[in-house]
Homo-oligomer: A and B are copies of this chain.
Amino acid sequence: MGEERLERFSNISMAVVRRLPKYHRYLKELMSNGVKRISSQELSNITGFTASQIRQDLNCFGGFGQQGYGYNVTDLYAEITRILGLDKTYRTVIVGAGNVGRAIANYTFFRDSGFELQGIFDVDPTVIGEDLLGHTILSLENIELFMKEGQTDIGIICTPKDQSQLVADKMVLCGIKAIWNFAPIDLRVPNDVIVENVHLSESLFTISYLLKEAEESERSR
């Protein structure tokens, strides 16, 4: 998913970056369970990553632990929150007010993690004007005007495949910095625009492959 391009900003590999949200999630859980300290070995038992890998990963960003003690859960959680940029607020727009768009707008992690929804757009006259979480669903025709005003960070594309590139182009013209793409297509955007894909069909087809494999190995036993 264009990962190579995304590494341009630092020397941290995407393999490491994609583990950070998992650390964040497990540390949050530990914190809410009242756990004060944790060793890389204990964290390994929980996450399934090796203790060695966990120490390597964390040391990409700094020495957050203490020899003989381990890691302070609260402090480490705060560090990873900061590393992930979750102490900042990002402004977002959603294009496509179907089930996917509505699901994102309603997701608690989305609303609780500092992502501000500025507006929701669609092309369907029957949903334009409808209220969604205090936002009136707007016509896609108005998006340029809206975004020029709004200084949007993240554009979330929840449209059908055939409209997604057009929407991405509009967003790019309005100076979008990142696109979260749910359409089953690889968008063409300038190099400095971050694209993160959620390709559900690829995920489902992977299950299909593994099921077929499982069946075949079952049969050959």
Contacts and interface: CB of A to CB of B under 8 A. Distances in A.
Contacts of A135: none
Given A178-B210, A208-B90, A217-B10, A198 B200 contact: yes
A203 B113 CA distance: 13
Nearest to A98: B103
Contacts of A109: 184, 200-201, 204
Contacts of A103: 98-100, 103
Contacts of A20: 205-206, 209
A207 B184 contact: no
Interface stretch (A69-77, A79-87, A137-145): A79-87
B21 A177 contact: no
Copies in the complex: 2
Contacts of A184: 25, 109
A2 B48 contact: yes
Interface residues of A, number: 59
Interface of A, secondary structure class, is helix
A36 interface: no
A198 to B, nearest CB: 6
A148 interface: no
Interface string A25-53: 10000000000000000000000100000
A206 to B, nearest CB: 6
A194 B88 CA distance: 36
Interface of A: 2, 6, 9-10, 17-18, 20-22, 24-25, 48, 83-86, 88, 90, 98-100, 102-104, 106-107, 109-110, 113, 115, 153-154, 177-178, 180, 184, 186, 192, 194, 196, 198-214, 216-217
